[in-house]
Amino acid sequence: MPPVVRFAPSPTGLLHIGNARTALLNALFARREGGTFVLRLDDTDLERSKPEFAAVIEEDLDWLGIRPDLVVRQSDRFSLYGAAAERLRGMGRLYAAYETPDELEFRRKRQLARGLPPIYDRAALKLTAEERARLEAEGRKPHWRFRLDHCVMEWRDLVRGPSHVDMASLSDPVLVRADGSYLYTLPSVVDDIDLGITQVIRGEDHVTNTAVQIQIFQALGGPVPAFAHHNLLTTASGEGLSKRLGHLSLKGLREAGLEPQAVASLAVLVGSAEAVRPIKDLDELARLIVFAHISRAPAKFDEAELEHLNARLVHELSYEDVKERLEALGIVGGEDFWVAVRTNLSKLSDAAEWWSVVNGPIAPAIADPAVVGAAAEALPPPPWDGSTWKGWTDAVKAATGAKGKALFMPLRLALTGRDHGPELAPLLPLIGPERARRRLAGETA
Residue 400 is predicted with a pLDDT of: 96
> What's the CATH number where 110 sits?
3.90.800.10
Tell me: pLDDT of 100 over 80.
Answer: yes
- CB burial of residue 148 (10 Å; 0-12, 13-18, 19+): buried
pLDDT band at 246 (very low <50, low <70, confident <90, very high): low
- CA separation, residue 117 to residues 109, 146, 155 (Å): 10, 19, 24
Q: Are residues 105 and 59 in the same domain?
A: no
pLDDT band at 131 (very low <50, low <70, confident <90, very high): very high
CB 377 within 8 A of CB 286: no
Chain segment 360-388, per-residue pLDDT in tens: 899 999 999 999 999 999 999 999 999 99
CB 63 within 8 A of CB 260: yes
In angstroms, the CA 171 to CA 208 distance is 12
Chain segment 384-417, per-residue pLDDT in tens: 999 999 999 999 999 999 999 999 999 999 999 9
In angstroms, the CA 228 to CA 292 distance is 9
Among 281, 159, 150, 284, residue whose Cα is nearest residue 226: 159
**Could you tell me if residue 71 is inside a domain?**
yes
Q: Are residues 234 and 374 in the same domain?
A: no
Average pLDDT, stretch 177-182?
A: 95
Q: Are residues 299 and 364 in the same domain?
A: no
> What's the CATH number where 371 sits?
1.10.10.350
Say which DSSP state 246 is in.
G
Tell me: pLDDT of 254 over 70.
Answer: yes
Q: Are residues 264 and 246 in the same domain?
A: yes
Say which DSSP state 318 is in.
-
The total of structural domains in the chain comes to 3
Among 13, 79, 70, residue whose Cα is nearest residue 43: 13
In angstroms, the CA 368 to CA 363 distance is 15
Tell me: pLDDT of 262 over 80.
Answer: yes
- Structural domain boundaries, residue 400: 360-440
Q: Are residues 227 and 370 in the same domain?
A: no
- Beta bridge partners, 176, equal 144, 182
**Could you tell me if residue 339 is inside a domain?**
no
Q: Are residues 135 and 244 in the same domain?
A: no
Q: Are residues 69 and 143 in the same domain?
A: no
Q: Are residues 102 and 171 in the same domain?
A: yes
pTM of the model: 0.92
Q: Are residues 69 and 212 in the same domain?
A: yes
Chain segment 140-175, per-residue pLDDT in tens: 999 999 999 999 999 999 999 999 999 999 999 999
Q: Are residues 7 and 23 in the same domain?
A: yes
- What DSSP letter does each residue of 125-171 carry, written as one string? GG--HHHHHHHHHTT---EEEE----SEEEEEETTTEEEEEEGGGSP
Q: Are residues 146 and 158 in the same domain?
A: no
Q: Are residues 207 and 296 in the same domain?
A: yes
**Could you tell me if residue 331 is inside a domain?**
no
> What's the CATH number where 232 sits?
3.40.50.620
